[in-house]
Structure 1
Amino acid sequence: MTTLSIFDQNQPETARTVTENPSEIQELLEKHGVRFEQWPTRELPAGASHEDILAAYRDEVAELKAECGFQTADVVSLNPDNPQKEAFRQKFLDEHIHREDEVRFFVRGQGLFYLHFGDQVFAILCQKNDLISVPDGTRHWFDMGPEPEFTCIRLFSNPDGWVADFTGEDIAGRLPRYEALAGAAE
């Protein structure tokens, strides 16, 4: 189940607020300019190619491109048997920003976005059916866990794809990781 936990950056050991209510999650994130929606997913075969996934969501992707000016869309998928899973996890674990909105639609599995607003950190465990759009310039990081299992459609304004500017802050290392928060949601 999708879960939002809100932490005080100065007391990161315990969340002050936790909710599983989608409309409350949407409302809390919207106050910070974050788009959160739950879309119906399509039934796809286990071995669906990235092209098949994009074709299945062609209309939704086209609508987001037209609405937000995105130029490209792709699919990222990771499974626990990927030999580079630890390197992929590490790539996204430090706080960073982008010069464009970061948009992800979870077709399968789950991942944890951390959004840093002032002295608060919002940790949203996104799951299948969740669309999240993190506004450009928002300090954030992503944790896919030690045994990643997800497939997401990503949209980009920049044709170069994922480009991050790391903040150099150590906040990501002070908050509970995926293992603690994803386990709490089950």
Structure 2
Amino acid sequence: MTLLQVMRQDAPDEIVLRTRDTSRISALLRELGVEYGQWELHLNATADTTQEELLASYRPEVEALCKRDGLVLVDVASLHPESGEEWAERAAKARATFLEEHRHAEDEVRFFAHGTGCFYLHIADNVYAVVCEAGDLLSVPAGTLHWFDMGPQPDFAAIRFFKEEDGWVGDFTGDPIAQKFPRLDALLAGDR
């Protein structure tokens, strides 16, 4: 299930709020200008599901969102567990890159068709950790400071939406703030 955990930027161990209530998550994020919603899952995506199959399964939703928000480029970002040292190194490198605080010149819009990932939104004095799972749609407004954790064993497929071809390129702040906050695996372990 989706999770929102709010922490103070200067006290990462202090939990201001923790909830799995999607209505509450949606309302709280909306107040921040962040869109959160859910789409019905149309297929059980696996590591063998192609980008074409995934996009075809969600064609009506994708087309409606593109029309509504003026999005013109759509693709799929995915990582699935593989065996071997090469995969482990590739996964660790990908994880480390996005665990640095950055912003984008356009909205970062993602639909999770499979798996889990966490967006950390650094807004005002708080950090909002939004754990997204299959079925979740999140739109982070342009200019919002954030980072993303795909976990130690990345396993996800997300449809990405852009207005420009380089819309995914991040402007990294160099601030080490992301290193102070609990990672995806720690957030999920908090339920145990």
Establish whether residue 127 from structure 1 lines up as the match of residue 128 from structure 2. Answer: no
TM superposition outliers: structure 1 runs of 4+ over 3 Å: none
Q: Which residue of 1 aligns with 2:20?
A: 20
CA positional deviation for 1:80 = 2.2
Q: Which residue of 2 aligns with 1:63?
A: 64
Aligned pair partner of 2:169 in 163, 170, 173: 163
Establish whether residue 90 from structure 1 lines up as the match of residue 90 from structure 2. Answer: no
Q: What's the TM-score, normalizing by structure 2?
A: 0.93
Q: Which residue of 2 aligns with 1:184?
A: 190
C-alpha distance in 2, partners of 1:175/1:121?
9
Establish whether residue 77 from structure 1 lines up as the match of residue 100 from structure 2. Answer: no
C-alpha distance in 2, partners of 1:95/1:45?
29
Root mean square deviation, CA, Å: 1.2
Cα distance change, pair 19–165 in 1 and its aligned pair in 2 (3 A):
same
For the residue of structure 1 that corresponds to 2:23, the secondary structure is: helix
Q: What's the TM-score, normalizing by structure 1?
A: 0.96
Number of matched pairs: 186
Q: Which amino acid aligns with 1:56?
A: S
Q: Which amino acid aligns with 2:121?
A: L
Q: Which residue of 2 aligns with 1:54?
A: 55
**Matched-pair identity in %:** 45
Establish whether residue 32 from structure 1 lines up as the match of residue 32 from structure 2. Answer: yes
CA positional deviation for 1:168 = 1.5
| C-alpha contact 2:45 2:114 (8 A) present in aligned 1 | no
CA positional deviation for 1:44 = 4.0
Cα distance change, pair 165–45 in 1 and its aligned pair in 2 (3 A):
closer
C-alpha distance in 1, partners of 2:168/2:191?
28
The answer for unaligned runs of 5 or more in structure 2 is: none
Q: Which amino acid aligns with 1:67?
A: R
Q: Which amino acid aligns with 1:146?
A: P
CA positional deviation for 1:91 = 1.3
Q: Which amino acid aligns with 2:164?
A: N
Q: Which amino acid aligns with 2:14?
A: T
Cα distance change, pair 73–15 in 1 and its aligned pair in 2 (3 A):
same
The answer for unaligned runs of 5 or more in structure 1 is: none
Establish whether residue 8 from structure 1 lines up as the match of residue 30 from structure 2. Answer: no
CA positional deviation for 1:31 = 0.6
Q: Which amino acid aligns with 1:75?
A: V
CA positional deviation for 1:143 = 0.3
